[in-house]
Amino acid sequence: MNEKTGGVVFEQVTKRYGSVTAVDEVSFNVAQGELVTLLGPSGCGKTTTLRMVAGLEAVTSGRVTIGGVDVTLRAANERDVSMVFQSYALFPHMSVLDNVCYGPMSMRMDRAKAREIAHAKITMLGLAGLEQRLPSELSGGQQQRVAVARSLVLEPAVLLFDEPLSNLDAKLRRRVRQEIRELQQELKLTVLYVTHDQEEALAVSDHIIVMDSGRIAQQGTPHELYEAPASRFLADFIGDANLVDGELAVTAEGATFSAGGVAAPVRAGGLPSGPATLAVRPQRLRLVDAGGGDVPGTCRRAAYLGSRIEYVVDTPWGELLVFDTDARTSRRRDEPVGVAFDTDAAIMLAR
C-alpha cells in the first residue's frame, strides 16, 4: 500500500522555548517500513520530537525530511504524516464515519470516494457496524481503533503514535500493542512511536531511541539496548538492574570487579582498569546456600509474585535485587545466602 519512499530523517534538530532547550541537536532516521520508538522518562523531549515531525511545533534549528522531502518549514496540514493522539482527539460531535472521513474531505476528495476508503479502513480495524456511533458511545479500545483508522485513511508516509496505549487498562494494552505491531508489519507502515513504558517499547519496536534531557542517550534494537546498555541511566531505565560502584582490575588472565571488599570475575568489555559500575539484571542473579556464589549476603525481604519471588539481599555490594523464577523453594528472612552470577551476565560501565 505504501509506495512512498524514505521515512523520516531528523538532522541536528534543536527546539528551544526561550532559554530552555527541550530537544538538543537530535539526529536520527526512521527507515521505510520500520517501527521506531522514542523512549524516555517524562520531560525528556520525546513528545516534542514527535510533534516536530508532525509539524505541531516549529523546530528552532535543524532539518526534518519526510519521504525524501524537506518539510522543516511546512505547517502540520502540509506534511505527509498523521498522528494518533494520547487522548485520541476524536471529534466528539462527529460520528465514527465522519471522523475517519475528515482527512480525505480536508484534501477535497469527493464525499463518495472518501466514504469508500473510510469504510475500507473501518472494516480493516474491525469497526464495521459502528460507523454511525459517536465517540462517546464507544469503549476505550474502540475509540483507540477509530483514532488509528482516522490516521491510516490518508495513507501517510509516516504514522505517528503519541503514547497511544496510556488510556487503556493493562490487559487491553497488551492486546492492542500486538495489534498495532501486526498492522504495521502487514501494511509495511513507517511508524514513529512515543512511549515512556519500556516494556511496551521492547515489545513493539524494530528500533528504540532512548532520550534523556533532550538528547539521545542510546539507540539500537530492543535486544541491544537490554543486553548492552551504554550507561548507568540506560541500564536503570530499561528493565530492572542492580548497579554496583567499584573498581575494575584488568589483567592478562581476565578482569575482576571488586566492591566492599568482595571481588568477582567479570568481562571487562573493553574498559580499562579503574573505577567502574557493574550492572546486572535481577533475573540473572541466583541465590545459593551460604558459602557459595560470588557475593555473600543475608536475605532481607521477599515478595511472592506468583511467577517469581523477588528477594532483597543485603551484601557487601549493597542491597541486591534477585528474581528467583524457581518459586517452589523460598528463603527465610535473615537467612544467610550467597549470590551467584555468570560472567557474561554482568555488564561493566565506565564511571
Partner 1 sequence: MATAALAPAVFVPAARDRATAVVAALALAALVALPWALEGGASALWRAAAGAPIFWPLLAASAAVVFLAWRGADRWTAIVAGLAVACTFVAGFAAGPKGLSFGIGAGVALLALTICFARAIARRGAFKGDPTVASIVVVIAGLLAIFIFFPVGKVLTAALFDAKGAFAPGLAAQRLFTADIWGLACLTGGSRCGVAINSAVLATVVGVGSTLLGLILALVVQRGGQRYAGVTRLMSILPIVTPPFVIALALVVLFGRTGLVTGWLDTWFGIARSRWLYGLPGVSIAQLLTFSPIAFMILHGALGAISPALEEAAQTLRGSRWRVFRTITLPLLRPALANAFLLGFVESLADFANPIVLAGNYEVLSTKIFFAVAGAQHDPGRAAALAAVLLGLTLLAFWLQQRWIGRLSYVTVTGKGDGGMPAKLPRPLWFACFGTAAAWIVFTLACYLIILTGGFVNDIGRGDMAITLDHFAQGFGIDFSRGLTFVGSAWDSLFTTITVAAVAAPVTTVVGLLAAYVITRHRFAGRRMFEFLTMVSFAIPGTVIGVSYIVAFNVAPLELTGGMAILVLCFVFRNMPVGVRAGVAALAQIDQTLDEASSTLRASTTRTLRRVILPLLRPAILATLVFSFTHAMTAVSAVIFLATAKYNLATVYIIGRVEAGEYPLAIAYSSVLIVFMLSVLLLVQALVGETRLGRRATPVLATGN
Binding site for partner 1 (CB under 8 A): 11-12, 27, 42-43, 47, 54-56, 58-63, 72-79, 81-83, 85-93, 102-103, 106-107, 134-137, 143, 150-151, 154, 160, 162-163, 166-167
Using the minimum distance from each CB to partner 1, give the nearer residue, 28 or 257: 28
Using the minimum distance from each CB to partner 1, give the nearer residue, 45 or 338: 45
Q: Which ranges of the chain does DSSP label H, i.e. alpha helix? A: 46-54, 96-106, 111-124, 140-152, 170-187, 198-204, 222-227, 232-237
First CA to last CA across the chain, in angstroms? 48
Least distance in angstroms from the C-beta of 162 to partner 1? 6
From residue 276, alpha-carbon distances to 244, 250, 256, 347 in Å are 8, 11, 11, 10
Using the minimum distance from each CB to partner 1, give the nearer residue, 8 or 90: 90
CB 243 within 8 A of CB 74: no
Cβ neighbours, 10 Å, residue 249: 16
Using the minimum distance from each CB to partner 1, give the nearer residue, 103 or 214: 103
Least distance in angstroms from the C-beta of 75 to partner 1? 5
Least distance in angstroms from the C-beta of 241 to partner 1? 25
CB 268 within 8 A of CB 348: yes
Using the minimum distance from each CB to partner 1, give the nearer residue, 167 or 258: 167
Least distance in angstroms from the C-beta of 217 to partner 1? 19
Using the minimum distance from each CB to partner 1, give the nearer residue, 15 or 286: 15
Backbone angles phi, psi at 56, to 5 degrees: -85, -20
Closest alpha carbon to 4 in 98, 89, 71: 71
Task: State the Cα–Cα distance between residues 248 and 241, nearest whole angstrom.
Answer: 19
Task: State the Cα–Cα distance between residues 122 and 329, nearest whole angstrom.
Answer: 51
Which cell goes with 60? 528552532
From residue 1, alpha-carbon distances to 96, 153, 154, 235, 303 in Å are 23, 11, 11, 39, 50
Using the minimum distance from each CB to partner 1, give the nearer residue, 44 or 337: 44
Using the minimum distance from each CB to partner 1, give the nearer residue, 101 or 320: 101
Least distance in angstroms from the C-beta of 216 to partner 1? 15
Closest alpha carbon to 60 in 89, 26, 94: 26
Least distance in angstroms from the C-beta of 152 to partner 1? 11
